[in-house]
Amino acid sequence: MLTIDEIKNISFRKATLNGGYRAEDVDSFIDEVIVSFEQLKKEKTNLVHKIDVLATRVEQYRADEETVRNALLASQKVADACIREAKEKAAKIVRDAETKAQTLLVDANNMTAAEKEHYLQLQSDAANLRNELISLYSKHIKSIDDLPSTSDVEASKAELDEKYPTEDVTAPAQSQVEDDVKIAVPSEMKAEPIAETEEVSAHPKRQSKFSHLKFGDNYDVTAD
């Protein structure tokens, strides 16, 4: 195929001396030019076809790009909506958790205050019971202190022995005592015999000096 430079620089052989060119050279050149133009036309047609194909593809790419862009925009919107919804749900969960934690804290504080009050009430009841027990046992201890001790008994015995001394005397036989009694008592002073069915004497029950002592609610110390 001829190039532009070849066409511009073509030279023909002269056929005559007056400057004419050989016809076969001109015809050959024209044939070459025709072949080149036909080839260029074919290439141009191919290029136009390729351009049409490329243009169609470009349009398709543009349509696809628009579709992809729309899809991306829709995806972005969905993603933004999801993120916004997730943030709202997270914020709601946090608020609910904070509210629940605050409620639990208030309940715990109230329970702690109630337990403290209950514990203090138990302590107060225990202190009152302690004071009552101390008072009760103080009274018992005072009453017990009023009872004679072993040293008091020994001191009383020594005092009685000193005031009322006694001697050890051997008791006479029973029959001899009865005879002495019969001799010493005149007949007119003898008393009438007492009937066996008559009660000789009645001794009233002696009141214990510790009858006022009481230990507990159901225990009374008395002596016959």
User: pLDDT, tens digit, for every residue of 146-185?
Assistant: 788 888 888 888 888 888 887 766 655 555 545 554 544 4
Distance CA 146, CA 154 (A): 16
Nearest to 160 by CA among 148, 150, 152, 170: 152
Give the DSSP H or E segment for 210.
none
Asked if residue 119 has pLDDT above 60, the reply is yes
**pLDDT tens digits for range 126-149:** 999 999 999 888 888 888 877 888
Determine the Cα–Cα distance for residues 13 and 28; give it in Å rounded to an integer.
Answer: 12
Give the tens place of pLDDT for each residue, 23-75: 777 778 777 888 888 888 888 899 999 999 998 888 888 888 888 888 888 98
Question: Does the global pTM surpass 0.75?
Answer: no
Do 188 and 180 form a contact (C-beta atoms < 8 A)?
no
Per-residue pLDDT band for 13 (boundaries 50, 70, 90) equals: low
What is the Cα–Cα distance from 209 to 224, expressed in whole angstroms? 10
In this prediction, residue 118 carries a pLDDT of: 92
Beta-bridge partner residues of 14:
21
User: What is residue 168's three-state secondary structure?
Assistant: coil
> What is d(CA 195, CA 190) in angstroms, rounded to the nearest whole number?
15
Three-class SS of 53-64: HHHHHHHHHHHH
